[in-house]
Structure 1
Amino acid sequence: SVNRGALRPLPRNVFSQNKVEQILFYPRVPKCGSGTFQKILTTLSLRNGFHFVGSPNYRRRMRTLEEQEELAKYLQRESDLHGSIGRTRHVFFINFKQFNLTKLTQVSLIRDPVQRFISVFHWRRVPHLAKFHFSFFLEHQEPDLMTTNNLTFKSWVVKDLETCILTNDIECSFRYGMLKESMVSYFCGQEAVCLQYGDPRAAKLAFNNIAKHFSLVGLMEQYENFLQRAEHLNPLFFKNGLKIYQDMASSGVV
């Protein structure tokens, strides 16, 4: 996982000097302000003249090499059709350069890992999303780490956070080497090690990918700083982004 100390250097940054490109790709990390950012991008696309489409696919974090290449081809086709484009996916890092997709810049947002864990726990149990998240949760657990026979949707959805932590429930456990998605996974990539919780190899891959492939990685807790830096770095996509966010905040939208 990423500890608090590891978060501090990111605002200064991981902000590389990559030139502005025609394709903006946002690999969304859940519960890190991504819904707000997608709303901002939707408004910016109308004001700044680029074509933006979000993605409803929440399940497919990892992709086969063929699927990665198909996504790269899709982005190129969309850019050929629309010019400058913005696209999002809930997906772990993909190195699009290996598919000769060089006119692309990636940006993302992260947050304090403890606060994200709390937010994810409650978000999974929002009534209209709970059944989806329960099935997703079951799909992504190691069989030897949980007893599925006694786990029902009813018992899972009413589980409270304090009990979950105190009983060392699998959902609230963070043991080294266990199969568990974390923020690191989203920057580590498509290798199996990226799902090994706490593995230093995953962290190393993540930081290397951020340095080489991301124009910007910001902190949700410093949203205005993130948008200010984004506008400075890439006005084609982000001009007036900070003002849009401030207007949304003042009207209670965020």
Structure 2
Amino acid sequence: MASKKIFFALFFVTFVLIICYVYLDSKTTGTIFRGHTEARGVVALGKRIFGSGNEPNNNNIDSSSLVSRKPKVDWKEYWRHLDERKIMGFQEKNNIFEKDEEVATQDVTVNNPVKNNALKVKEELVQQNKKATLTGITFPDGNKPTEKKALSKKKWLYDWNETKDMVDSLPLYGNWQNELGQRIIFNRVGKCGSRSVLDVFKHLAKQNHYNMINSIVYNQTRISEEKKNLIVSVLLKVDPPFLFQRHMYYVDFSKFSSSSVKYINIIRDPIERFTSQYYFKRFGDGKNDQSQRQFKGFLQTINECVLKNRPECGTKKLQYIIPFFCGHSPQCRLPGRTPLEMAKLNVERDFIVVGVLEELDDTFAVLEKMLPRFFTGAVEYLRSPDTSSAGNTFARNRSATVTKHKEVPSDEVRTILLKQMSLEYEFYYYIKDRFQKLKIQLGIGDSKQ
């Protein structure tokens, strides 16, 4: 008798649970039990009898309830994305899975013209942004983009002060998953001709339609972890292809994201670079006249500075190029073989091209071959006969950035500097050798020096 009572009690409980499941599923979005519908017991039994609740059933579920259902998301990826956006101070109104939600709801909004129209307008805006940036790429209809007027008005050059308040002024289209887009960083070394080179890059950005992000922060080659996180997060949101330029030490993007980010750079003879920087601080150049401001230091020649062993010409100040390739570790700024080997390792891993200023024409020829999406037309622009016209300012800028009152170090001082900068020269010759091998592989002739 007791067993019969237990049997009827279990039957009654099962029946009540099934009724509750059907009733709740018909009145709500179905999300209460959905996470367990593949599980055990009477809920699974009710699912087999009354349906999974995932397919539209006009008998007991209306289309409006299905619209609010969201597809499954990769929560690990989702939270990683939120962390990146929080660094930039973004407000989370729409998430990265918004596009997936649109796909999931397209088939169930047939009877909702308001939502259909909103989705249509939003999709059109997305397509317009893509067409404005993917120049020269064939669209699904087989045609090239025809909005030439829109493209001509597109802004390709952006200045950024590396603060959150100016992030919205950058071309952020949220293509954070786009691994095919090209992201290039030019972490330019001081007094290696970079200001003249930037004139070419800006011209090519307009011609080849890539976004060029110019940092307006100077004299901060070392950056804090907070600023590093901000720069990385923002750059990974910039619509590719883009080129970001800044005076800064190497940052390993692979520690922050799996997105592909590569570097380019240009260096020069270490003593020539040091001499140029030494006199630039005192007298400036055609673009930056230091004589207009009072120089706080010794107005002596570089020979006097080295022979008197001034701190400005000491060993610690002479290791300048290597940290741009080694990174932000304090050890990278000290003379030693470890920073040198780390710099070489980073060059082989993340630097597509490291050219030399003494072979600038060949440097641009290599860049054009290695990165045609960015630098097609660079050599033609350099060799254009109208270099003095408004259309080509490279020659004028190159002459204007020549340091004033620069004196050549004496043989005695040069011998001292060669000894103190031995590691810098080892890295310089390593870069030159790598560059020559790359030229041979690409079939580019030797420069006339």
Matching residue of 2:169:
none
Matching residue of 1:216:
353
Q: Distance in 1 between matches of 2:307 and 2:350?
A: 39
Q: How does 1:1-254 map to 2 (within 5 A)?
A: 21-79=181-239, 83-100=240-257, 102-126=259-283, 128-129=289-290, 153=296, 156=297, 158-174=299-315, 178=316, 181-196=319-334, 198-247=335-384, 251=388, 252-253=395-396, 254=398
User: Is 2:274–2:318's contact at 8 Å kept on the other side of the alignment?
Assistant: no
Identity %: 22
Q: Distance in 1 between matches of 2:274 and 2:350?
A: 26
- Identify the structure with bigger relative contact order (alpha carbons < 8 Å, sequence gap 6+): 1
Moved more, 94-103 or 205-214: 94-103
Q: Distance in 1 between matches of 2:180 and 2:265?
A: 16
User: Is 2:311–2:317's contact at 8 Å kept on the other side of the alignment?
Assistant: no
Counterparts in 2 of 1:110 and 1:179: CA distance versus 1, 3 Å: closer
Counterparts in 2 of 1:37 and 1:29: CA distance versus 1, 3 Å: same
Q: Which has the larger radius of gyration?
A: 2
Counterparts in 2 of 1:71 and 1:48: CA distance versus 1, 3 Å: same
TM-score by length of 2: 0.44
Q: Distance in 2 between matches of 1:162 and 1:249?
A: 40
- Aligned residue pairs: how many? 209
Q: Distance in 2 between matches of 1:204 and 1:248?
A: 43
Shift of 1:132: 8.5
TM-score by length of 1: 0.75
Shift of 1:111: 0.4
Give the 3-state SS of the residue equivalent to 2:383 in structure 1. helix
User: Is 1:20–1:234's contact at 8 Å kept on the other side of the alignment?
Assistant: no
Output the amino acid matched with 1:99.
Answer: F
Output the amino acid matched with 2:247.
Answer: H
Q: Distance in 1 between matches of 2:294 and 2:185?
A: 25
Provide, for residues 23-78 of structure 1, a one-character-per-residue CA deviation record: whole Å limited to 9, x for no partner. 12100100111111111110000100011132221222112333222111111222
User: Is 1:54–1:88's contact at 8 Å kept on the other side of the alignment?
Assistant: yes
Q: Distance in 2 between matches of 1:20 and 1:133?
A: 49
Give the 3-state SS of the residue equivalent to 2:354 in structure 1. strand
Q: Distance in 1 between matches of 2:189 and 2:341?
A: 18
Give the 3-state SS of the residue equivalent to 2:243 in structure 1. strand
User: Is 1:76–1:101's contact at 8 Å kept on the other side of the alignment?
Assistant: no
Counterparts in 2 of 1:159 and 1:215: CA distance versus 1, 3 Å: same
Shift of 1:157: 5.0
Structure 2: 5+ residue stretches without partners: 1-178, 389-394, 399-449
Counterparts in 2 of 1:130 and 1:207: CA distance versus 1, 3 Å: farther
User: Is 2:249–2:325's contact at 8 Å kept on the other side of the alignment?
Assistant: yes
Provide, for residues 213-242 of structure 1, a one-character-per-residue CA deviation record: whole Å limited to 9, x for no partner. 111101010111111111111100010112
Shift of 1:247: 3.2
Counterparts in 2 of 1:20 and 1:109: CA distance versus 1, 3 Å: farther
Provide, for residues 143-166 of structure 1, a one-character-per-residue CA deviation record: whole Å limited to 9, x for no partner. xxxxxxxxxx2xx25222221122
Q: Distance in 2 between matches of 1:248 and 1:233?
A: 25
User: Is 1:124–1:133's contact at 8 Å kept on the other side of the alignment?
Assistant: no
